[in-house]
Structure 1
Amino acid sequence: MSDVVIIGGGIVGCATALHLKLADSALEVVVLEPDPTYAEAATARASGGVRQLFSRPENIALSQYTLEVIQAWPEMAAIDGQPPPDLHWQRRGYLFIATPDHAETLAANLLVQRQHGVLAEWLDPPALEERYRAIDSADLGGGVLSPDDGWLDPHAFLQGLRAKARHLGSRFLEERAVGVEVAANAVRGVDLASGHSLRADAVVNAAGCWAPALAAAAGMPVPVEPMLRLEHTVDLPPDVLPGFAALPFVKDGRGLAIHPEGSGLSVSLVDFDAPGGFDTAADPGYFERAVWPALVHRCPGLDRLRLHATSSGLYDQNRLDGNAVIGNRPGRLDNYYLACGFSGHGLMHAPGVGRALAELILHGSYRTIDLERLGYARILHREPYAERGIR
């Protein structure tokens, strides 16, 4: 019998296990992860971005806590005096840019961000052109820069949290959950592919793209499905590289995202209208057909780049509103907690979600960041709580 069983040993599951043990070292915490190599996990294939540029206060606060964790990482994640994995944290800033028809929304979001303690500044087109000459700002209405944001090594972040959770006593089992046992409005245990089952006082479903099936089995269906995401790394000619090496993490209203990586750039352009599914095969023509034209439109100097590699992964995309689904279903399933549907924000929000779930499990309410508006009630009543002009 375990106090808490966590389904999914990705970054959200590891962060939840860690915060449970930090809150109560006597808890029996078990994490189920069928693939300890994380070959198919979303975390290892993430871009690693961490930003505060959201319009919803909950998402801003979750990112702010992650920045606190990054700042405290050498001490927080150390084990017996040994340093944790190097996050290779690049505090280079995030820059959101928008065309004139979306600039008003970007400016309104900036007011919300500043109200919640985000250091951010508005850049009009002349300021954008002066500061970032590699970006064509002729068709832009402005941009917002948050200099404290940046990106890190996703694998190092995951492994550091996992190692610390294990050091504090969490048990990681190489098992796949295939079902949950429900009786009298409570989850009693988790069924495993091996034929065994685990009894538990509380169960957390942090299984990413595999979470919806386990949520539906417990009577908490969610509008979450796998969505293909491609990350492209490109090499730049030596005469072009200096103009791009100092860029922050840039995102525009078309969904284009770029940031410096090695001797080139990491680039993505998510097709949010693509059908969902677990197929991670990359369309070999997608880069030339969609990504490169968008890239050259925004950065004309990139007409001579060379595609180095393409990697594919999956978002657990919430089709209702693009935000995570956090928490239980009071009165129906008090001890079954969801943490899914992050829609590309799992890595940057995992520490705060893990802490919030620990609070909810141990105290019955949130003590730090109130995530009630990201709860299951909005799914049940189909009341979207979406970001404004941000993906």
Structure 2
Amino acid sequence: MHAWPASEVPALPGKGRDLRIHDSSTGGRVTLEPGPVARIYVCGITPYDATHMGHAATYNAFDLVQRIWLDTRRQVHYVQNVTDVDDPLLERAQRDGEDWVALAERETKLFREDMTALRMLPPKHYIGAVEAIPGIVPLVERLRDAGAAYDLEGDVYFSVAADPHFGEVSRLDAAAMRLLSAERGGDPDRPGKKNPLDPMLWMAARPDQPSWDGGTLGRGRPGWHIECVAIALDHLGMGFDVQGGGSDLAFPHHEMGASHAQVLTGEHPFAQAYVHAGMVGLDGEKMSKSRGNLVFVSTLRRDGVDPAAIRLALLAHHYRSDWEWTDQVLQDAVDRLGRWRAAVSRPDGPSADALVEEIRAALSDDLDSPAALAAVDRWAALQQSGGGTEEGAPGVVSRAVDALMGVAL
């Protein structure tokens, strides 16, 4: 599966700072110090609906991580999946009388278009669950052969008891885990499971549902968590720098994935840091496909909204915060974009050197994009008041905003 084209990232004078970021598994901030190649895995979409602002906010956060690493003169090895077969996708296709493959392909194509418009840097490897099945099956077989998985009426479940580190990612108690498991795709009440939290690794073929050859597992399809583990281990290996996604993925998805990988390899941790973006709401509820309270990136683009304004609307909120999308949020971003573009349209202006360092400092401090925006606002206001005559300074500001925040002025 192919990703989307990469926008050019301008080179800036000097060198960026190492990123200090909140790690869900420790509950505090850690300084990331990758090697020459920084490794990041961000969980992708289940393509049964268009890209909404909650998706965009998540991918914006991890695009900032990439840009900070690039500014430190590192290479970035970024991997993202597409869960192109799963219950929600199949249910939507059945509801609409549409072929599930066609639905997945259409919505994945639209997602690529949205990411391109928003100048999100693409993954090096963009892998669908279906194409990953040949690599998933041997992992499930290994877990079963090692006694870390068991059969239940043809399905195969992972035993969370097999991982002594289970629970360290989300840091939740068993009661909270059970509630979230029921809400987020698990089946804690299924009779016969060794532990209510045990997640499915392989679902045996169901009537009228797609299935694939699973070798000794029989025909079926993979569970959600093992999908990401297989892709991450194949392309990044253990101990990669950042596992990313929305805050609703901390449990069960990232918790279970970490346990799968740690039992498979005998190594710990799966990722050096688990980083989670907050939720975006609309009308008092979290944006979600199940509720239908969505604002789509593609709809805004069709309505003539500049993608750079959409990106500024995302950047105006700290990535870990939960926030509400409103018409005023968008209007504020449109107004800010206008001010910034006017400020960089002149050949000279206030010195940009201090501003570049201020943006770097803000973003390296747990991706503090609101502080970075405020710094550019101050520079733009000074420019408007005629506060500087350094030739070429507006061009430096324009390149810095593009390189570090993905906003083209």
Q: TM-score, normalised by structure 2?
A: 0.28
Identify the structure with the greater strand proportion: 1
Identify the structure with the greater helix proportion: 2
Greater relative contact order (CA < 8 Å, ≥ 6 in sequence): 1
Q: TM-score, normalised by structure 1?
A: 0.29
Higher gyration radius (CA): 2
